[in-house]
Structure 1
């Protein structure tokens, strides 16, 4: 069997705060309702939906990870250059994100890590040729 699309579903403890954070970072709003806000990421438009805790717990039929205290996943976003990585650092700080890994060289690349207001983790990575 083939799948047509893939997207991510994460919890948001404050939809307004989540929407503002990702809007401030320049991501494209994909949709919103009383129970969710959704954004497109990257050139391919990968969608991440952020649901209220109650709605997502109902969908998974169980409890959710507290991303501020536990790790669940890390999304990687590619950058165009080392300078672009450093620009992202400042943008994330201004938007209210938390830097959990300062900018650093990694093999032939350059990266840093941040978390959003709910603790969901991302890294911005410049990798030559990617």
Structure 2
């Protein structure tokens, strides 16, 4: 147990959530995950085990959603990067991926990027 913490204390989960819009497919979510894993500086954070990218079922329960109910969660492990920096890195990578996808496949996956709540949701 870390000093200064008592049993039952919760540790804030830091990171960002990436969710694609209704026009996206499950393949789009997985392709974006692969893209993020190879994008600098995210790749460096992953290889140093300071970041984890998880594919999760969406938690907001959007009614009438036509696309996949999947999202990507980039969780910071340790204190080597801030949420603001991670959000910037992620936004830049997602923008590049979105532009490539639009050029090759058409359509707009309408990505949304936002920081995680302190409880990881």
Whether the TM-score (by the shorter chain) exceeds 0.5 is no
Relative contact order (C-alpha < 8 Å, sep 6+): which is higher? 2
TM-score, with length taken from structure 1: 0.30
Higher helix share: 2
